[in-house]
Structure 1
Amino acid sequence: MPSEITEEIVKEIILVEGNNESQEHKWRSMKQENEELKKRLRVMKEELEDKDSELEQREGLINALLVKERYANDEILEAQKLLISQMRDLTDDRTTIRVKRMGHLDVEPFVKASKRRLTGNDTEVYAEWEENLRDPHWQPFKRVETGNIVKEVVDEEDEKLKNLREEWGEEVMNAVKTALEEVNEFNPSGRHVVPTLWNSEQGRVATLREVIAHMTHEIKTLKRKKNLKHRK
């Protein structure tokens, strides 16, 4: 009997020891995995910190560039204002580089139409349409999609424009349409005439380089004429 008890106890001890070894092995394995996870987390944290630092540097660079761009834009606007003030009285419609009043309604088509109609009231009609152009509540525009680009254009089916065409003809309607297009592009909120540096030859806004080159040429021409006059 005692020997049987002893054998049973030994078996239990061996079983317990085996279980302990198994548990210890599992514990070591879990501890090793835990250390590896900690290492990975440290690496990830360092990488994130590096990325945060890089993002901060990029944000700083972008902000600096935006500030420079604002200053540059302000300087360009000031230069444009100065050139417009200098060129306003020195150029006319025949000059290649000139000051164009964007949104200004051309009076000539009204004069011609009035002569054809023998009415003589072109001044009244012209004044009426100048007032219409400045009215922010009148919005004769529609959106047209071309590919992925959505553009706002004059709606020629607008009731006022249709009546104008029927009564005063295509040329007068086109003059109003052109003024509408210009004011919608250059000053849609204010709806008033905006003086702009203009390249008449190419039908677009003139660059500062073109304006300066034009003014330099004009100055040289004037100097040459002045020198010739003195020689005589």
Structure 2
Amino acid sequence: MSQNPLPTNGEGHNPLWLACINQISATAELLRQLEEQKVQNEDNSKQKDNDDLRDLNQTLIVKERQSNEELQEARKILITGLSHVLSDKTDIVIKRMGEIDEKPFLNKFKKSYRVDVAMVKAAEMQSSWQEKLSNPEWHPFKVVIVQGNPHEVLNEDDEQLKYLKRSSGGEIYKAVTKALKEMNEYNPSGRYVVSELWLLKENRRASLKDVINFMLQNMNNPKPKPKRKRGLEESSGKSGSKDKYI
């Protein structure tokens, strides 16, 4: 996919993104070191006083929590900072998790109404179901045990979901339940749409490593200059030549 280059200074580097990359890398390295320290503590547990080991583990847990919070904050900064760079033509996009796709609603109403009317009705129905998703009192999930661990799964026997599937068909049902699962995974307490960095070609959440690689690959890519208009070439006596970058 084509990429929109990141803004750079005169030397071809973007100081803000370089600083961000360095901060993320340092935090990730700290997490790696903390994990190694935890493993080492487990190996040495028989040789140390239990109280000392407990205090050390508690310190590591606090540092790990702080580092994870820093990484989450870094993701938010990246989402904001890259919003003007990312598009549906870049490898990484910003996906709105928990937002219902309006296309199935439009397809439904286009079968019975003019396009302008269908667009209004589709928007109204999509908005109505989006509001339902935001209601914390509606939680159509159930807990099942998988290999001894509890997991939340969609409760397909929920009355509102059954009505939706029966009255509107499978495509709209899939759109609503997909957004419902996303919201339950990414923002179950707030119950509102959140933005996430998404690796489009693999259809998954982009890791910080993915984002850093994207930034490094595009940081020095110069924007192609506009093509010369054929009319200008013809007026200068160069008719028949191909457009070139200038």
TM-score, normalised relative to structure 1: 0.69
Query: Higher relative CO (CA 8 A, sep ≥ 6), structure 1 or 2?
Result: 2
**1:100 positional shift:** 1.2
State the match for 1:168 in structure 2. 168
Match of residue 225 from structure 1 = 224
Distance 1:146 1:53, change over 3 A: closer
1:135-150 maps to which residues of 2 (within 5 A)?
135-150=135-150
* Larger displacement relative to structure 2 (88-97 or 151-160): 88-97
Q: Quote how far apart the aligned CAs of 1:215 are.
A: 1.7
Q: Distance in 2 between matches of 1:225 and 1:213?
A: 21
Report which stretch shifted further, 98-107 or 87-96: 87-96
1:69 maps to what in 2? 64
Q: Are 2:49 and 1:54 aligned?
A: yes
Question: Counterparts of 1:103 and 1:67 in 2: how far apart (Å)?
Answer: 31
1:53 to partner: Cα distance: 6.8
The offset of 1:144, in angstroms, is 2.5
Deviations 1:181-213 (A, max 9, x none): 001011111110111121222222211111011
Match of 1:179 in 2: 179
Partners of 2:129 and 2:223 lie apart in 1 by 46
Show structure 1 runs of 5+ residues with no match: 1-50
Aligned to 1:112: 107
Opposite residue 64 of structure 2, the aligned amino acid is E
Q: Tell me how far apart the structure 2 counterparts of residues 204 and 154 of structure 1 sit (CA, whole Å).
A: 20
Question: For residues 139 and 223 of structure 2, what CA distance do their matches in structure 1 show?
Answer: 51
Unaligned runs of 5+ in 2: 1-45, 229-244
For residue 220 of structure 2, give the secondary structure of its aligned residue in structure 1. Answer: helix
How far apart in 2 are the matches of 1:80 and 1:158? 35
Letter in 1 for 2:224: K
Give the 3-state SS of the residue equivalent to 1:183 in structure 2: helix
Q: Distance in 2 between matches of 1:92 and 1:53?
A: 54
How many angstroms does 1:146 deviate by? 2.4
Shift of 1:214: 0.8
Alignment CA distance shift 1:53-1:146 (3 Å): closer
Identity of aligned residues (%): 38
Partner Cα separation in structure 1 for residue 223 and residue 108 of structure 2: 44
Point out the structure with the larger helix share: 1
Q: Distance in 2 between matches of 1:94 and 1:143?
A: 39
- Supply the distance in 2 between the matched residues of 1:203 and 1:144 (Cα, whole angstroms): 26
CA deviations over 1:45-102 (Å, ceiling 9, x no partner): xxxxxx8971122122212212221221122122111101012232234432122111
2:7 corresponds to which residue? none
Q: TM-score, normalised on structure 2?
A: 0.66
Report matched runs for 1:36-47 at 5 Å.
none
Between the aligned partners of 2:89 and 2:171, the Cα distance in structure 1 is 21
* 1:79 corresponds to 2:78: no
Q: Does 1:213 align with 2:213?
A: yes
After superposition, the Cα gap between the structure-2 partners of 1:93 and 1:169, relative to the gap in structure 1 and judged at 3 Å, is farther
Q: Is the 8 A contact 1:110 1:126 kept in 2?
A: yes
**Worse overlay, 197-206 or 180-189:** 197-206
Q: Deviations over 1:100-146 (max 9, x none)?
A: 11111111111111112437221221111111111111111122322
Is 2:97 the partner of 1:102?
Answer: yes
